[in-house]
Amino acid sequence: MKKFILAFIMFFIMTSASLADSNVYITQSGAALDLDITIDGNANAVGASNDRTLLTGANLDVDIDLIGATNTITGDFIGTGESGSDDLKINQTGSTNTTALNVGSSASTDDVSIIENRVGSSGVTSYIIGSTATVQDVSVTVDVVGDDIDIALTENSSSSGSDKTTDIDIATDSDDVDIIVTHTGAGAHKTKLLCTGACGTSDFTFSQTGANSTDVDLVVTNAAGSDVDITITD
- What is the model's pLDDT at position 157? 73
Helices (H), the chain: none
The structural domain count of the chain equals 1
Report the half-sphere exposure of 22 (CA within 13 A, side-chain side).
18
Other Cβ atoms closer than 10 A to 194: 16
| Residue range(s) defining the domain that contains residue 36 | 2-233
Q: What is the mean pLDDT of each run of 10 residues along the chain (234 residues)?
A: 41 45 88 92 92 90 95 91 79 96 83 93 93 81 92 82 84 83 85 85 88 84 84 85
What are the tens digits of pLDDT across the range 142-165? 999 989 999 999 988 767 667 788
- What is the model's pLDDT at position 19? 53
- What is the model's pLDDT at position 200? 82
Report the half-sphere exposure of 164 (CA within 13 A, side-chain side).
34
Q: Are 78 and 106 in contact, with CB atoms under 8 Å apart?
A: yes
- What is the model's pLDDT at position 10? 34
